[in-house]
Structure formats: C-alpha cells, structure tokens
C-alpha cells in the first residue's frame, strides 16, 4: 500500500470512523433541561410551528441544515460505484459545508430502483432541511431529477456537480482568459465529457458570453455533431454542425480545453495543437485529464488548472457550494436561480484580483499569491469567500425575488 493511500484510509478510520458527528447546542444535564428539551417543554414549539409554519426556522435547526444527497451513480470521476461507496464523499461535502460556511450538513445515500423512486424519496424529506445539495448523480438522470425536485420542493435544490462546478469554472475561465488576453465570445472551446458538469459548465459559459457554435463537446464516442443519431436531448443542445470527428481535429487552434471526463485522456501532443496562450482546465477528480507537470512541460504559454488541492489553480466546486447555500439559507431562498449563480461567479472571480491575506498564504504553504497564471481563482481556505460570495448570493436572491426574508442587518460585514 502506498504511503498516501494508508494516510488517507487512516484519516477516515481513526480515531473515530468517518468525518462528521452531531453536537448539541443546548444544555441537557439536569431534569429541568430535559423538561425543556423534551417532554413537556418540546410541546411548546410543536404548537407554535403547527400554528405558524415559518416558526420552524425559529425553533429548530432547519435554517442552518443542508442535506447532501447521492445515489452513488457518478462518484467523482470514479464512476457508478453505488450508494455506500459514495458515503465518504458525501461526508466530505458535509465537512466542507461546516468548515467553510458554518452550515450543518448531513449525508443521505439513497438506494432506489427507478429515477421516480429517487425523486419521491428526496421530495418527501426535503422540508426537513434548509436546502438540498444533490451530489454525484449520473447524467442524464440528474437533469430530470433536479428539474422534478425544483418543481416539487419549497427549499433550494442544487445539483453541485452541475452548477457548483459550472460557477467555479466560469469564474476561473473568465480570469484565465483575461490574463491570456482573450475574450469569451471569441474563444474556441473544447469540452471533453458530456455529463452533468460538462453540460452545465457550457450552458453557464454561454450565459457569460461564449458562443454555442464555438463549443465542441465530446463524449466517449467522439465529437458531438449534428449528424449523430445517438444523442440524448441534453447532448443534442451541443451538437455542432461540423465535419470534425476527433479530439485532435477539434483541439487544433482551440483556446480553451475543459476536461470533466476521466484520467489521462489528454496527451501532450494534443496540447501542442492548441492556439497560442491556451487554457487547460483538467477537472476530472481525483485524476485529471492531463497532469500539470506533463502539460507544462509540453507548453510554457499555458494556464493550467485542476480540481485538486495539491496543485495551483484548484477549479473545484468547493469554492462555491458552501457559500451559495450560506447566502441562500440566510435569506430563506426558495430556490437557487441564475441571478444567484451569476452573482457567485462574479464574487469568486473578483476576489482573485485582491491582495491575499497572510493566513491564506500560510494555509496554502506559499510565500506569494498574485493574480496571474498561477493564481486565477481564490484558495478554498480564503475566509473572504464566505463573506463575499454568500453576501453577493443573498443580495441576488433578494433582488430576484427568490428570498423569503430580507437581508439580515449588517449581513456578512467584514471586520
Ligand atoms: O468532490 C470533488 O472534489 C468535486 C466534485 O464534486 C466531483 O468531482 O464530483
Ligand atoms: Mg461531485
């Protein structure tokens, strides 16, 4: 067993199995405490909520609680490994919600027969939470699931692998293009992968100014083009009217490569075909489409990002999901809409242009971080993400009509 593998397994196993637990927020020591916490005192908030449903936010933990729900059908870039194998990732998301946004999160892994079964399960429990983060659910079912749940639920439903990934990709890519002296409306973009993250990333890039006809998406069968007859309705939106069929043909003179597929699918020779000053986001987790050291050896005019914590430029939905939920829950948003997503893109993007505090440099283990090829996007442990992104999202929720309450006083004021 490699050293790192053992460390990772020990981290999860010792001293207590798993990464999360539940703690109490009220005293529960004396008979008096128990009389308040449980019978008979608990009857009082029961009656209050029965009379006024919004009181659930006043008397329970709902307003600070997120459900992280998966069926394990697309765990990271590892594939369909089942609900229980997804549990470490879902606990990991709960850890990140708590660590970065102070939100309590609980993982729920659903075993189901039909897609409708999964939808019913989630819809029937969604009200217990302030919001639902759907995670690692395979395409194309994930699209139908998210749409059905948004229609049925009163709390925000957010498929992280679609929108979290898309928001962070858009923020990083807009900055990388700026550094490379390029513009999104002109950029030729190759997207390797046609799953949840791919479709959502490209749709959001189009909302940010990319041209649909400049996008070449590839699935396991090659370029998605208008003459293919095997496309589902989501892939069909990206069918390009082209006679190019291979990765090598479409990546020639491309400005941007976005990989949301699997490990080692981009070769140094492919990379050499790209236009000058290219941008490569190799975001498959845990193993990118090309390793940064290999990519940078092939091209020195490259801006390179991965989904991982151990290289510069981590384009990973961790920069988004804790904060978009923080902002949404703090104004009791009914949904997470496009206005809120675009506000998150802009807030993440702008933060990378500001001087980096010493504590962030220390946590990142580097002496310097300055907006440029090695620093296109903030670090996950930057505490300003919480204030900036959550605030931008909450304001957008209020102004777009998704919020059920106004911004709290002095919301996310920075000290
Ligand atoms: O977990 C991560 O690092 C990012 C993510 O959502 C995925 O790859 O599915
Ligand atoms: Mg995921």
Q: How far apart are CA 327 and CA 289, in angstroms?
A: 33
Cβ(182)–Cβ(255) under 8 Å? yes
- Is the peptide bond between 140 and the residue preceding it cis, with omega within 30 degrees of 0? yes
- Can you name the residues that pair with 105 across neighbouring β-strands? 66
261 Cβ inside 6 Å of ligand 1: no
Verify that 118 and 212 share a domain, yes or no. Answer: no
- Is the peptide bond between 267 and the residue preceding it cis, with omega within 30 degrees of 0? no
Q: How far, in Å, from the CA of 135 to the mean position of ligand 1? A: 8
Verify that 72 and 114 share a domain, yes or no. Answer: yes
Residue at 319 is within a domain: no
DSSP string, 360-387: HHHHHT-S---SBTTBSS--TT-THHHH
Cβ(124)–Cβ(348) under 8 Å? no
Domain boundary among 160, 175, 192: 160
Verify that 47 and 103 share a domain, yes or no. Answer: yes
Q: How far, in Å, from the CA of 285 to the mean position of ligand 2? A: 9
Verify that 219 and 236 share a domain, yes or no. Answer: yes
Verify that 102 and 176 share a domain, yes or no. Answer: no
| Terminal-to-terminal C-alpha distance of the chain | 47
Query: Which of the following is catalytic: 38, 59, 207, 272?
Result: 38
Question: How many alpha carbons lie under 13 Å from residue 361 in its C-beta half-sphere?
Answer: 9
Residue at 11 is within a domain: no
Is 138 marked active-site?
no
Residue at 78 is within a domain: yes
Verify that 208 and 86 share a domain, yes or no. Answer: no
Residue at 379 is within a domain: no
Q: For residue 35, what is the domain's CATH number?
A: 3.40.50.10380
Domain boundary among 306, 339, 357: 306
Structure token pair of residue 78: 């590892």
**219 labelled binding-site residue:** no
Q: How far apart are CA 273 and CA 283, in angstroms?
A: 20
Residue at 347 is within a domain: no
Q: How far apart are CA 401 and CA 200, in angstroms?
A: 23
**161 labelled binding-site residue:** yes
Nearest CA to ligand 1 atom 6: 161
Minimum-distance ligand 1 atom for the alpha carbon of 93 = 1
Would you mind telling me the total number of residues written for the chain in this entry? 415
Q: What is the pLDDT of residue 235?
A: 97
317 Cβ inside 6 Å of ligand 1: yes
Verify that 230 and 132 share a domain, yes or no. Answer: no
320 to 39, 193, 363, 370: CA distances (angstroms): 40, 21, 19, 21
285 Cβ inside 6 Å of ligand 1: yes
Domain boundary among 104, 127, 160: 160
Residue at 201 is within a domain: yes
Residue 234, Cβ neighbours under 10 Å: how many? Answer: 19
* DSSP conformation class of 182: -
Nearest CA to ligand 1 atom 5: 76
Tens place of pLDDT per residue across the chain (415 aa):
799 999 999 999 999 999 999 999 999 999 999 999 999 999 999 999 999 999 999 999 999 999 999 999 999 989 999 999 999 999 999 999 999 999 999 999 999 999 999 999 999 999 999 999 999 999 999 999 999 999 999 999 999 999 999 999 999 999 999 999 999 999 999 999 999 999 999 999 999 999 999 999 999 999 999 999 999 999 999 999 999 999 999 999 999 999 999 999 999 999 999 999 999 999 999 999 999 999 999 999 999 999 999 999 999 999 999 999 999 999 999 999 999 999 999 999 999 999 999 999 999 999 999 999 999 999 999 999 999 999 999 999 999 999 999 999 999 998 7
Question: How many alpha carbons lie under 13 Å from residue 324 in its C-beta half-sphere?
Answer: 33
Q: How far, in Å, from the CA of 160 to the mean position of ligand 1? A: 8
**Beta strands 222-223 and 256-259, pairing class:** unpaired
316 Cβ inside 6 Å of ligand 1: yes
Q: How far apart are CA 197 and CA 321, in angstroms?
A: 14
Q: How far apart are CA 22 and CA 382, in angstroms?
A: 25
Verify that 122 and 198 share a domain, yes or no. Answer: no
Verify that 288 and 167 share a domain, yes or no. Answer: yes
CA 329 to chain centre: 16
Q: What is the pLDDT of residue 297?
A: 97
Q: What is the pLDDT of residue 337?
A: 98
Residue at 187 is within a domain: yes
Q: What is the pLDDT of residue 414?
A: 82
Residue at 139 is within a domain: yes
Query: Which of the following is catalytic: 19, 93, 188, 291?
Result: 93
Residue 409 has φ and ψ, to the nearest 5°, of -60, 140
Verify that 168 and 296 share a domain, yes or no. Answer: yes
Domain hosting 188: range is 163-306
Any idea which ligand is nearest the CA of 286?
A: 1
**Number of compact structural domains in the chain:** 2
Q: How far apart are CA 304 and CA 179, in angstroms?
A: 12
Q: For residue 280, what is the domain's CATH number?
A: 3.40.50.720
Cβ(273)–Cβ(255) under 8 Å? no
CA 231 to chain centre: 25
**135 labelled binding-site residue:** yes
Is 38 marked active-site?
yes
Verify that 59 and 129 share a domain, yes or no. Answer: yes
182 to 172, 192, 357: CA distances (angstroms): 13, 21, 29
Q: How far apart are CA 352 and CA 301, in angstroms?
A: 20
- Is the peptide bond between 108 and the residue preceding it cis, with omega within 30 degrees of 0? no
- In this prediction, the answer to ipTM > 0.95 reads yes
Verify that 62 and 191 share a domain, yes or no. Answer: no
């Amino acid at each position: 067993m490699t050293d790192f593998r053992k460390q990772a397994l020990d981290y999860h196993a010792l001293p207590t199995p798993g990464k999360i637990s539940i703690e109490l927020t009220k005293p529960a020591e004396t008979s008096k405490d128990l009389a308040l916490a449980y019978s008979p005192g608990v009857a009082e908030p029961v009656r209050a909520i029965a009379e006024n449903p919004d009181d659930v936010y006043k008397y329970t933990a709902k307003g600070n609680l997120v459900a992280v729900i998966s069926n394990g059908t697309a765990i990271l870039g590892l594939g369909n490994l089942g609900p229980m194998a997804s549990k470490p990732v879902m606990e990991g998301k709960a850890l990140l919600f708590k660590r970065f946004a102070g939100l309590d999160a609980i993982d729920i892994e659903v075993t189901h027969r039909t897609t409708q079964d999964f939808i019913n399960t989630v819809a029937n429990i969604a009200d217990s939470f302030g919001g639902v983060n759907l995670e690692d659910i395979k395409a194309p079912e994930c699209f139908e699931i998210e749409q059905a749940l948004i229609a049925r639920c009163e709390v925000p439903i957010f498929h992280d692998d679609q929108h979290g990934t898309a928001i962070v990709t858009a923020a990083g890519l807009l900055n990388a293009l700026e550094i490379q002296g390029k513009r999104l409306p002109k950029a030729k973009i190759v997207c390797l992968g046609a799953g949840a993250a791919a479709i959502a990333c490209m749709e959001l890039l189009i909302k940010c100014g990319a041209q649909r006809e400049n996008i070449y998406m590839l699935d396991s069968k090659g370029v998605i083009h208008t003459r293919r007859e095997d496309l589902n309705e989501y892939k069909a939106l990206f069918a390009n009217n082209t006679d190019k069929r291979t990765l090598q043909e479409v990546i020639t003179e491309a400005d941007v490569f976005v990989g949301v597929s699997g490990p080692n699918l981009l070769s140094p020779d492919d990379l050499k075909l790209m236009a000058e000053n290219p941008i490569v986001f190799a975001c498959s987790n845990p193993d990118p489409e090309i390793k940064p050291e290999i990519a940078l050896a092939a091209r020195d005019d490259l801006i390179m990002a991965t989904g991982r914590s151990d290289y510069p430029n981590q384009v990973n939905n961790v920069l988004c999901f804790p904060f978009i939920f923080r902002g949404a829950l703090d104004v009791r948003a009914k949904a997470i809409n496009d206005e809120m997503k675009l506000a998150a893109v802009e807030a993440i993007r702008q933060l990378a242009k500001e001087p980096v505090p010493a504590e962030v440099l220390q946590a990142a283990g580097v002496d310097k971080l300055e907006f440029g090829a090695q620093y296109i996007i903030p670090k996950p442990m930057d505490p300003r993400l919480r204030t900036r992104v959550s605030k931008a999202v909450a304001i957008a929720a209020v102004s777009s009509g998704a919020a059920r309450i106004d911004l709290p006083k002095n919301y996310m004021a920075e000290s």
